[in-house]
Structure 1
């Protein structure tokens, strides 16, 4: 029995060590990965075209146009989320592209989830998005999930808080990973 328990402990230890390494080595598709550079470091975002193909296409198009470079985080609520994507910095602006119809899913708004901001009309998302600091299950099924932070959440946590923040932090650069020269 002692030998059996020893084997079970060894197996459990192996799984505990091996499984996170496997997840860490998961290969990201460069065409569906965004690099979001902030003042403190790079945030890597896995896009979710399986959940929101129209939103992902619009985010990638705007990113490739350089739309997000230099845009401020205009609404940053501690324990909730950081919102950006408005070229006016007021929370009322967007891009010149058409609004996107809602692509609500059963995906959970967990810490590190990226969702699309919108007005009261569910089909009014355009360019503004937010990154969750904490669990936000109350948003599930009401906003479109289009991505998730896979590394660099510690840099998101350092974004200056406020509505709006005084001297707000900005997106230094946002790029689709496939477009980055190696």
Structure 2
């Protein structure tokens, strides 16, 4: 079974902050991206593979198949989701982890500011509250060095 060190929601998936900061803060053997659209895009998978640090394995899985695949992985894992909905669906399908960091969620539509680079609407926050029933902690931060925003503080920011 995968040893999930951290799960993260970040619409950019693998990018500079993930590679230069988060992977150093949470060293892992493998990055697993849970994303249905990316799972079916071989070209983009190859692009993301090029960004993964040397010595770190990379896998893209579907939301529904993620739990089963994670059961078969024998490695420390950094788990990535593109958005709150993908994370919620994966958790509903049986994906288990203890710690979730909500990172890059762009400000669009009815989303409200939570922290630098992190915006949520009420539906997304409700989905996170549901996820919070199965995890030890959910925090909001873009980079490891930032002070985390808690679920309670995030709730207070939503009007």
TM, length-normalised to structure 2: 0.26
Q: Which structure: greater helix fraction? A: 2
Normalised by the length of structure 1, the TM-score is 0.24
Q: Indicate the structure (1 or 2) with the bigger Cα radius of gyration.
A: 1
